[in-house]
Structure 1
């Protein structure tokens, strides 16, 4: 058996793992990265963030042409569109390959040794990696766990055949005529909306009383209205049952049994940390529920064993894992770093999009020491010029009443995802309403709504 010794061993090549690897290499640390999952870039690059946004983009283009064919839009007419989903998926796969190659080149540039295979730990600093060329035993001074997460499987709807996870949904070779989505969170809605735009008849089954239950109703109402206008069948407060003979059994809010016809059933009821199958039980780590417990330095209970990304808890977002991976690399190199962000902004790429950073209305309920203000996109010229002003979109700011320090920023509307970094930046820098109001925002842009919402909170919005 080949034996390797290294300064840093990273398990998992997702956004947390590969960023940690690159930064370790930049800092001159001898580093081995074991990729035993979805490939370089992990879930996000291969079967999550990137491919889903590619499919969503293609679906929106298809919908635009379909509107032009259905009587014209903006003076534009077109013939009825058709889609070969296999070609769309091939285009998506090309993007993934390009990014895979880019990550590989960056790791190579940083002199990180990449081993493709499944790692199994016998103790906290030793693992055996099964590769196509035989087993490799690796021991390390430092171990960074970045194993990511995996879709939750329902025992009565196991994945296989026509019951699929988001991974299979992104590689279908044809648009299903009837798609039932089990789970009304952001993954299910993003994909359900995309397939509706592509022409599928879509039904969504959600146990909660409304879609996207983690967001406040004002943010989700525009999405619910889009679903209603486009004929998406919503079953709220409902429970899914078994699937067979092309029908999914559900129990409605009223307790009535019902059968939904489906060519595919997409189960998106959440993700869980990938803690099984690689010897976690042999490492002596403390747990926090299903997650590995870490402190503000991403250190586990075992000395010189670190954990980043989805393995460490909510929010399970790629950009959180990347930030943690960078910090851990710098700590190992001797720098004094902690992971203590003011906010980690989240985006739902639904129709319309939703952004949330910092505190929301549900977090300040009952408080009288805060102010909040909303500015509608319907009053923004750029929004009207790109048909983004008539879906109920808005930007909302929440701030302390006494010193006007920003506590939270949310938005819903077309293309608002591109404002998320501005929201996070202002919160991270401790900005007050006057800071946002004092920035000369470019006209015409959607970002002007952030400016106007802040002015409105101060009592003197211009365009409303």
Structure 2
């Protein structure tokens, strides 16, 4: 190969090394393709470095702190409990994030994926240029998978900097703020709001819609609101954030509710109102790739754009911005390039909020099932009837199944409560496999376990309840 003005030849190139990109690169290599991955910032992307993983680490630390402060119901009394937040951050960064990102680097190397550092720009449908500082190199490729992810949205009056921070800034604070205002009560805002409340902060959440966590059903969200109230979190809904003034040692946030202006002062204001796709500086339009008005890339059911040689996955495509969605689409795209007869099907795609309690949903809700023309029934089993939940003193919540009236085929499920993020996997598998309530009820579940709640709900669906 000749370096310089001549293009280096690549078979399959992946742009972005997040949970979509690195998975696509590894699967493409497994499919026999010669693969290179281009990353401008850090291996593992937002999820592993400043998103899903570090946020869960802070959430876990908050839980441990609260357990140490108050476990008297178990007969455990503690004194002199202190939080060393610098050590918490060190563990998050070095004990969790560094290990995972290092592991991804090792997996790429093991699968013979070439890592190219720099920022990629399309020249045409088979050529791109990578710039890394003062160096630039042109590459030609047979197929490209674009997995560049998204970034936080900055809103008017809340320019990031100083005491006005995004979720990345919120994850990397050097101290637990005494007071924290969060603009946006979606999944990210609610998760981090709960985490910092557990760590000792006084939290206010400003949400523009009638409820926090607007993508989840109301009875599920009410459980989170109840727990937030216990933590002292103030939730202001139907709130329009207007301005943040950085005072140097504090920040003043102005917002409106029903046309009335209100102010709240805090140590920091964190804005978590959504994310914007990273497609504006890639040169996709030069390559002829079609996009929506929001900057999302239009793709078919294999992740292929209107340009045959270019695929797109993850946050830059329509649909929920979820790490596991990106990883799923990554495998489909890589296998499609290899000529496999694959297609994207989102029916078994779960969504989770790691709040207190956790919320998880997969497949159809009752409303969605009826809108799809399905004749369904809804079954709900409370965690208060589950022995493991009782032994953990975590009985708030339920498992809900949405099944067809004829045949009891599972088409949707929602879980609210401890370990909802894990329980939902079994129900997602059942939906993906087209199982019915009999299949779940006849599966022998270990006792005592939280997963038994799924079995108990299935037995209710069959009209044969044991524990209800």
Q: Normalized against structure 1, the TM-score is what?
A: 0.96
Give 1:342 deviation, angstroms: 2.5
Q: What does 1:382-421 correspond to in 2, within 5 Å? A: 382-389=388-395, 391=396, 393-421=397-425
- The whole-number CA distance in structure 1 between the counterparts of 2:347 and 2:47 is 23
Other-structure match for 1:116 = 117
- CA–CA distance in structure 2, aligned partners of residues 150 and 132 of structure 1: 22
Instruction: Find the aligned partners of 1:344 and 1:184 in 2 and give their Cα distance.
Output: 22
Query: Alignment partner for residue 362 of structure 2, among 348, 357, 376?
Result: 357
Residue of structure 2 in register with 1:55 after alignment: 58
* Residue pairs, 1:3-402, within 5 angstroms: 3-37=7-41, 39-68=42-71, 72-94=72-94, 95-132=96-133, 134-244=135-245, 245=247, 246-252=251-257, 254-290=258-294, 291-364=296-369, 369-389=375-395, 391=396, 393-402=397-406
For residue 259 of structure 1, give the secondary structure of its aligned residue in structure 2: strand
Asked if structure 2 preserves the Cα contact closer than 8 Å seen for 1:55 and 1:194, the reply is yes
Partners of 1:85 and 1:172 within 8 A in 2? no
Partner SS state of residue 142, structure 2: strand
Matched length: 457
Contact map agreement 1:177 1:263 (CA 8 A) in 2: yes
Gaps of 5+ in 1: none
- The answer to whether the 8 Å contact 2:156/2:243 transfers is no
Cα deviation, residue 318, structure 1:
0.9
Q: Is the 8 A contact 1:216 1:361 kept in 2?
A: no
Q: Is the 8 A contact 1:8 1:142 kept in 2?
A: yes
Secondary structure of the equivalent of 1:280? coil
Cα distance between partner residues in 2 of 1:5 and 1:31: 11
Q: Is the 8 A contact 2:370 2:376 kept in 1?
A: no
Q: What's the CA shift for 1:356? A: 0.1
Separation (CA, whole Å) in 2 of partners of 1:266 and 1:461? 46
Aligned-residue offset at 1:365:
5.3
Work out the CA distance in 2 between the residues paired with 1:26 and 1:442. 36
Deviation at 1:80, TM superposition (A): 3.4
Deviations 1:173-218 (A, max 9, x none): 1001100010110100000000000100000000111111111111
The offset of 1:133, in angstroms, is 6.7
* Structure 1 residue 231 displacement after superposition: 1.1
Superposed structure 1 runs of 4+ greater than 3 Å apart: 364-368
State the alpha-carbon separation in 1 of the partners of residues 212 and 50 from structure 2: 23
Hey, what's the Cα distance between the residues in 1 that align with 2:304 and 2:237? 41
| Unpaired runs of at least 5, structure 2 | none
Superposed CA RMSD: 1.5
TM-score, normalization by structure 2: 0.95
* Inter-partner Cα distance in structure 2 for 1:103 and 1:337: 25
Measured at CA, do residues 451 and 289 of structure 1 come closer, stay the same or move farther in structure 2, by a change above 3 Å?
farther
Aligned equivalents of 2:388 and 2:75: distance in 1? 19
For 2:200 and 2:100, the matched residues in 1 are separated by 29
Shift of 1:87: 1.6
Deviates more, 1:364-373 or 1:311-320: 364-373
